[in-house]
């Protein structure tokens, strides 16, 4: 272990407590793909001030860092991640309901927020109940499903700004678009958010939530590790149908496979490496481009060392 790494682990432990800092932590334990080599340091802050303090330490030391949620949209290199991974997850997941507002920390699961909304007879968040991610990631990507998206319900987001100040920004200033936001273009980190919902009929809310759950379970390969929808929806097309029409249903590279249940998903059938997935994604994109002239773009984010051709 290098001297700098030892010093940073000590500094991080002073901020979060020793139990929240892990060395050489396998990232396969922290991604829904169940893929990824070790992170040099993995740390779990429990408050916005801790996030800010950890980042300040990294920046002052010139040490690389990466901030993540629950890893539901990540493909981490087999070589792992050099530097520190700051995981905003269960230790920053408080949810508070007040009238028709829900305020939640960035590490709160969307499913937990949807359950809180349902419990308080609030409607408007049913679309997010089955998305396997955290609120922070959902704000960054303007996550959506079944005709709903975060843009429709977000009131404000509290974030760490580029100046490393903690500020609350109104949703109107977040530049929310299809799977995009200001957070993807600027060095800002989501810490919490306020969601505006409406009073609804409890039975109607339960029925809609159950219907969306059934649709997701019947159409998506939830029994195998994946990162959800692999590709963004090309304008005028559906990625899954293009992949299916290209004859790629069930196409495999090593342990990675285009799902036979839904061609828009790449799944880990067991023992898949990040390189298997990356190669498969490249093969699929090339075949679809050749056959239909459509360029597929990934929703999944590649993190770590994949080489210059990635």
Q: What is the full DSSP assignment across the chain?
A: --HHHHHHHHHHHHHH-GGGEEEEEEGGGGSTT----EEEEEE---SHHHHHHHHHHHHHHT--EEEESSSTTEEE-TT-EEEEEEE-SGGG--EEEETTEEEEETTSBHHHHHHHHHHTTEES-GGGTT--SBHHHHHHHT-EETTEEGGGTEEEEEEE-TTS-EEEEEGGGS--BTTB-GGGTSS-EEEEEEEE-EE--HHHHHHHHHHHHHHHHHHS-TTS-EEEE-B---TTS-HHHHHHHTT-TT-EETTEEE-SS-TTEEEE-SS--HHHHHHHHHHHHHHHHHHH-----BSSEEES---TT-
The CATH number of the domain holding residue 126 is 3.30.465.10
Out of 34, 52, 179, 278, pick the active-site residue: 179
The pLDDT of 83-106, averaged and rounded, is: 97
pTM for the whole thing? Answer: 0.92
- The proportion of the chain whose per-residue pLDDT surpasses 90, expressed as a percent, equals 86
Number of domains in the chain: 3
What's the pLDDT tens digit per position in 283-303? 999 999 999 999 999 989 999
Round the average pLDDT of the chain to a whole number and report it. 94
Catalytic residue among 46, 181, 229, 259: 229
Is the confidence at residue 146, as pLDDT, over 90?
Answer: no
* 229 is annotated as an active-site residue: yes
- Same domain, residue pair 243 and 299: yes
To the query of whether residue 215 is one of the catalytic residues in this protein, the response is no
Indicate whether 57 and 140 sit together in one domain: no
- Does 117 share its domain with 86? no
Q: Is the pLDDT of residue 308 over 70?
A: no
Same domain? For 78 and 118 the reply is no
Mean pLDDT of 261-265: 95
The residue-averaged pLDDT of 259-271 equals 96
Q: Could you tell me which residues come within 8 angstroms of residue 149 by beta carbon, excluding any fewer than 6 positions away? A: 127, 142, 143, 176
Counting residues of the chain whose pLDDT is more than 70, the rounded percentage is 99
Given 103, 249, 299, 301, the catalytic residue: 299
Q: Are residues 192 and 249 in the same domain?
A: no
Q: What is the pLDDT of residues 178-225, one digit of tens each?
A: 888 999 999 999 999 999 999 999 999 999 999 998 888 888 898 999
Residues spanned by the domain of 291: 221-303
For the cut 60, the answer to whether the pLDDT of residue 310 exceeds it is no
């Amino acid at each position: 272990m290098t001297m700098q790494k030892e010093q940073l682990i000590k500094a991080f432990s002073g901020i979060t407590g020793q139990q929240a800092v892990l060395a050489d932590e396998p990232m396969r334990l922290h991604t829904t793909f169940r893929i990824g080599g070790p992170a040099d340091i993995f740390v779990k802050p429990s408050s916005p001030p801790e996030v800010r303090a950890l980042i300040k330490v990294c920046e002052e030391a010139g040490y690389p860092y990466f901030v993540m949620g629950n890893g539901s949209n990540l493909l981490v290199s087999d070589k792992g991640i050099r530097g520190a991974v700051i995981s905003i997850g269960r230790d920053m997941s408080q949810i508070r309901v007040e009238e028709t507002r829900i305020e939640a920390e960035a590490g709160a699961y969307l499913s937990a927020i949807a359950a809180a909304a349902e419990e308080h007879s609030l409607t408007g968040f049913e679309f997010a109940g089955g998305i396997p991610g955290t609120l922070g990631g959902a704000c960054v990507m303007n996550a959506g499903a079944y005709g709903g998206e975060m843009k429709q319900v977000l009131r404000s987001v509290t974030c760490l700004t580029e100046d490393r100040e903690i500020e609350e920004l109104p949703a109107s200033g977040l530049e929310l678009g299809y799977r995009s936001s200001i957070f993807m273009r600027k060095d800002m980190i989501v810490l919490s958010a306020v969601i505006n919902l409406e009073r609804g009929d409890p039975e109607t809310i339960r029925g809609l939530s159950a219907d969306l759950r059934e649709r997701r379970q019947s159409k998506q390969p939830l029994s195998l590790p994946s990162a959800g929808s692999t590709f963004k929806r090309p304008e005028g097309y559906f990625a899954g149908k293009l992949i299916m029409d290209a004859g790629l249903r069930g196409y495999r590279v090593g342990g990675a496979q285009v799902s036979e249940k839904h061609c828009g998903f790449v799944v880990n059938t067991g023992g898949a490496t990040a390189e298997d997935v990356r190669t498969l994604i490249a093969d699929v994109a090339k075949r679809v481009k050749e056959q239909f002239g459509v360029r597929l773009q990934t929703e999944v984010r590649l993190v770590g060392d994949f080489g210059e051709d990635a």
